[in-house]
Amino acid sequence: MNTRINRRSFNRLAGLGGVAFASGLFAHTEGGRAWAAGREPAQDFYFVQLSDSHWGFKNDAVNPEAQHTLPKAIAEVNALKQQPDFVVFTGDLTQTTEDPQERRKRMSEARDIIKTLNVKTVRFLPGEHDASSDNGAAFKEFFGETHYTFDHKGVHFIVLDNVSDPTAALGDAQLNWLKADLAQLDKKQPIVVLTHRPLFDLAADWDWVTKDGQKAIDMLMPYEHVVVFYGHIHQEHHQMTGHIAHHAATGLMYPLPVAHSQPKKGPVAWDPAQPFKGLGWRSVDSETKKMTVAMTEHPLAKA
Amino acid sequence: MSAPTKRRWATLTATALAAAGCVAAHEMAPKAPPVQTVEILAQKFNFTPDEIKVKKGMPVDLELTTLDRLHGFNVPGLNLRAEIVPGQTTHVKFTPDKAGRFLFHCDVFCGEGHEDMDAAIIVEE
């Protein structure tokens, strides 16, 4: 059963003001348990999620500051007093183009901008704009593999690719890879999944879905402490599938409306009175020993 | 009459009776409702027509073709999905059992206008 999560205030953790949200990320837990046996010791840390920068997008009615939005977000991250352990980009770094040369030009430019982050550990995954036109070929040239795992301070991160297949599927090969990875884990291992599209069926008629995402959710379900961070829908959104929390991030080019709030999906027009409204990024504080997470949403500042 | 000849007569008689029975049954059975055939053309980044109307309870045969590349056809509200392959006509057959407006969209990423590639089926009472 899917359930919306209620937001509540939470004290800010790292410098810039923002709207904060706390979640029992690793639910059903006993505080301080040494759940990371055999892996890195559990330690608190935080990371930043950037998403949907759509570098190369051009439409002044939607975002007349298109050239400045991603650099602005990076400047804000660089200004954090305490730097995050790493930054994740949850897809759609670039706006799609059918010209393979232009695609690579956009990826090269985006990569150069991202290199200005003070934090040098950056994890990438593709969105459909990056990868669906060539099955991820150009993305791999610039940003590496499209699905992989890594461990950080006791948390197991799984990066899933639900966009290189233009039908928005993970595919059997990746699902088998996921199954094999999960088979090595203790059921109490905290797991963070990073992906682009929602794994659950958020709004199928708006293409906000992963065709075989439920299979991945079913595989993750036996694990007690799982949370998913994703992009694609260009707005903050929180939902539960059973005990698994799914958190969508705002984008960095244009906001999209709430699902089914209007007849057709389309970018929300730029409001000159409120520039950058609906755009922003997220910091995620993994209070790992307490088995909780605190998310803080950072709307892009006007100035 | 030899035994083989008797069998042949019996077979012919049975066939004739069965055929007559079929005709009678056919005449007595209610006529099947006519099929509503609708052609839908897909190309980057639209469907033509972008709105089709069909009657509830009447069989529908959608004939889907594409002018350029692979597209998807997905109607979540009617639980219909197909892929539209270049050079082929894809038939999607169904009988709508509920009235309403059902959006359909391309669910195979096809380029910059992909997100705008949608249309609607109106099922009328």
Q: Can you give the pTM of this predicted structure?
A: 0.84
Q: Which one of 2.60.40.420, 3.40.50.300, 3.90.230.10, 3.40.50.720 gives the CATH number of domain B36-124?
A: 2.60.40.420
Domains of chain A: 2-299 (3.60.21.10)
Chain B's closest residue to A98, CA to CA, is B111
Q: For residue B91, which of B33, B49, B51, B37 has the smallest C-alpha distance?
A: B37
Binned at pLDDT 50, 70 and 90, residue B32 comes out as: confident
Closest CA–CA distance from residue A271 to any residue of chain B (Å): 22
Q: What pLDDT, on a 0 to 100 scale, did the predictor assign at position A50?
A: 98
pLDDT for the residue B3: 47
| Inter-chain touch A266–B74, beta carbons under 8 Å | no
pLDDT of residue A187: 96
CB-defined contacts A:B, below 8 A: 45
pLDDT band at A128 (very low <50, low <70, confident <90, very high): very high
Average confidence score pLDDT of chain A: 88
pLDDT of residue A205: 86
Q: Residue A46: beta bridge partners?
A: A285
DSSP sequence for A228-295: EEE-SSSS-EEEEETTEEEEE--BSS---PPTTSSSS--PPPP-TTSTTTTBEEEEEEEEGGGTEEEE
* Domain residue extents for chain B: 1-31, 36-124
B106: nearest CA partner in chain A:
A207
pLDDT of residue A264: 82
Which H or E run contains A20? strand A19-23
Task: Give which of A205, A206, A265 to mutate to test B binding, by max B Cβ within 10 Å.
Answer: A205
Nearest residue in B to A58, CA atom = B112
Q: Under an 8 A CB cutoff, do A166 and B110 touch?
A: yes
Question: Contacts of residue B114 in chain A, CB cutoff 8 Å?
Answer: 96, 128
Inter-chain CB proximity B111 and A98 less than 8 Å: yes
The pLDDT tens digits of the residues spanning B63-100 come to 999 999 999 999 999 999 999 999 999 999 999 999 99
